[in-house]
Structure 1
Amino acid sequence: MFRSVLDAIAGYRPSSPVRSPDGRSYQLAANESADEPLPAVVRAIAEAALTVNRYPDNSCAELIAGISGAFGLPEDAVAVGCGSVAVTQMLLAAVAEPGVEVLYARRSFEAYPLLTGFTGATAVEVPLRDGVHDLEAMADALTDRTRLVFVCNPNNPTGTVVGRAALEAFLDRVPADCLVVLDEAYREYVRNAVTPDGLTLLAGRPNLVVLRTLSKAYGLAGLRVGFAAGPPEVIAAVRKTYLPFSVNGVAQAAAVAALRAKDELMARVEGTVKERDRVRTVLTARGWTVPVSEANFLWLPLGDRSVPLAEHLAAAGVAVRPYAGDGVRLSIGSAAENDAFLAAAADFSPI
């Protein structure tokens, strides 16, 4: 009855909520913004809620215009979806099928193997080198069957980045008939000057697409809005795979309002960056190994100590994202949430 590819797919499992014995809960597992929506966004949501008896604009015209204005992109160079995960699925639906290969790093965003598996394409995983994308090895892994390559920059879950020179050298090696998807879900948190804004790399590269989301820095994780930017001919193909009405009307209105408040939201991002650096400083002073992160989370490469840390923190009501045998991803929350993590982790040995 069911497709054979499902036999090898476990499905996505988000972290479960946790609570301490006294009922406290600190959710530091999903890389969300710790800040409440801006008043203007809340007003837009309330107004749009009065129209939910009607279908949303399937063309997302106002939203695409807002993205175009905020990021300096032609409107025909933008495709939107229900979060950047849905846009990832749209891209795969446009190019992937049985007999072709999809290439990405390991470990990187959990959705890549899941969504690749749905298409029936063959996944090719290239290990990170010292926690960073090994772009030379990825280029060496390209074959005449490679149809799409994901480069997550900053990488989820390690928070590490690749610089402009390395990225451009890699792009130069990718054949023109292979799509490169530069996933920049955490771009707003980058402070490393050598890390390029992917949108500045689009000119002259007909096989490059950049992914962005409004779930993180723009604080709309609960409404799911993401977009792809790329050559109009690629975007036209991707738009064909859009599930009708999947970016709902409330989400569209909230996203437009958030884009108009971009400057105010980026000021909030500065607070998250400062908290990220503060938490890392405390942990490294305690003897923890914590790679420099350019995202809104930290990576704790604890190996076999990863699940024990998550269980230890859960007892104190702190939820993190463990990757068994590999590491723990710690989302950066409010100062109080981060302090709760630091307090709970104080008596845990990372060795």
Structure 2
Amino acid sequence: MPEPSSAPYVRQAPALRAALSAVPVYAPGRRASSVLTAALASNESHFTPLPSVRQVLQNAAQTVNRYPDTTSTRLREEIGALLQTDPDHIAVSPGSVGALQQLMTSFCNEGDEVVFAWRSFEAYPILVQLAGARAVPVPLGADEGHDLDAMAEAITDRTRMVILCVPNNPTGVGMTQADFQGFLDRVPPTVLVVVDEAYAEYVDSPQHIDALRLLDERPNVCVLRTFSKAYGLAGLRVGYAVAPAYVADGLRRAALPFGVSAPAQEAAIASLAAADELRARVAAVIGERNRVIEAAREQGWSVPNSQANFFWLRAAERQLTGLLTAFDASGILVRPFADEGIRITLADRDTNDRVLRALADARCGAAL
């Protein structure tokens, strides 16, 4: 019989993947703690869901004891009708970020590279690292938009995917169709170009990118959209990808089963049916965007042209501190990016006027 060991007991446990230690934690915008606080840190719509959508949600709540349609058949058909696209080219997901995660799962192996602009949507490097791939961030250009020349040069034989956030989050800067097509001409056909159009409904520039128009002739293009922004369904998490049929099929295979709830699907369908109301709401946001940016520039702020429901102020550390002090004093939550700048979501006219007053206060502050 062996002698009892005198060695100290070492507790063993399952180990997390080593890659997780390098993954940054996604930092959501601060939530309002009072009804008097203007919550402009996340790019949510300030409009509540349309009455017709609320009624659909009430009805759908009666069936939440049942699993949803895991392939979102009806919703894909409605999106296809809207975009004049075969539903087989559409994959529904938990927000557009869900579709992006499914793309990473479908296309990226250990050590593959994913190129994207930086700064851009904070989820990009997180999803890349979780997939075991290598993030290749490319600095923005002087206009706060994508530097497509530098992005093309960053592509190597290990690149599997390029992400274009258009309009870019957090700067709001768009991209022209001519620049986009010129960039595609430089991308190898084996590299998937993912165009993240989360804010597409807010675009009013006639020269802006129309990636959907190129899907038939460019089999390496995939477009992501969401119901979280203009449609005001951020809390329901429903988005979609439009891509070649084999890509969309791969996304559906990689999806978490029943990942998009039945109420989310029904609300999205009802939102698509309320096109006139949507256009009116979008027009109101665009009108406020133009007014606020012009007023901020008159105060002396340098604001890039935005095609989204927010605008961007580039600010170094000392200036950023003064801005945050002024916004906090005004009861306004905005989204700071350390030593880079601040993103401000647009809301109703009264709230936007509060933003302009805070900017004026910051402009007069000693810190600036």
TM over 0.5: yes
Q: Which of 1 and 2 has greater Rg?
A: 2
In the other structure, the counterpart of 1:137 is: 150
Give 1:167 deviation, angstroms. Answer: 0.6
Give unpaired runs (5+ residues) of structure 1: none
| 1:284 corresponds to 2:265 | no
337, 348, 351: which one aligns with 2:362: 348
Amino acid of the structure 2 residue aligned with 1:280: I
Q: Residue deviations 1:78-109, cap 9 Å, x none?
A: 00100011111011111112121000001111
In the other structure, the counterpart of 1:124 is: 136
1:1-351 alignment, distance < 5 Å: 1-18=15-32, 24-130=36-142, 131-304=144-317, 305-349=319-363, 351=368
Counterpart secondary structure, 1:13: coil
Distance in structure 2 (CA, Å) of the matches to 1:163 and 1:223: 31
Give 1:128 deviation, angstroms. Answer: 0.7
Counterpart secondary structure, 2:357: helix
Counterpart secondary structure, 1:273: helix
Amino acid of the structure 1 residue aligned with 2:123: A
Distance in structure 2 (CA, Å) of the matches to 1:229 and 1:217: 18
Distance in structure 2 (CA, Å) of the matches to 1:213 and 1:307: 33
Amino acid of the structure 2 residue aligned with 1:284: R
Change (3 A) 1:307 1:253: farther
Distance in structure 2 (CA, Å) of the matches to 1:10 and 1:135: 25
CA contact (8 A) 1:76 1:236 kept: yes
CA contact (8 A) 1:217 1:266 kept: no
Distance in structure 2 (CA, Å) of the matches to 1:33 and 1:88: 22
Counterpart secondary structure, 1:80: strand
Distance in structure 2 (CA, Å) of the matches to 1:327 and 1:280: 16
Change (3 A) 1:340 1:250: same
Give 1:335 deviation, angstroms. Answer: 1.1
With a CA cutoff of 8 Å and minimum separation of 6, indicate the structure with the bigger relative contact order: 1
CA contact (8 A) 1:103 1:146 kept: yes
TM-score in terms of structure 1 length? 0.97
CA contact (8 A) 2:96 2:238 kept: yes
Amino acid of the structure 2 residue aligned with 1:330: I
Change (3 A) 1:43 1:168: same
Give 1:8 deviation, angstroms. Answer: 0.9
Distance in structure 1 (CA, Å) of the matches to 2:209 and 2:294: 25
Give 1:209 deviation, angstroms. Answer: 0.1
CA contact (8 A) 2:215 2:221 kept: yes
Amino acid of the structure 2 residue aligned with 1:148: M
RMSD: 1.3
Residues matched between the structures, number: 349
Distance in structure 1 (CA, Å) of the matches to 2:76 and 2:324: 40
CA contact (8 A) 1:307 1:323 kept: no
Give 1:222 deviation, angstroms. Answer: 1.1
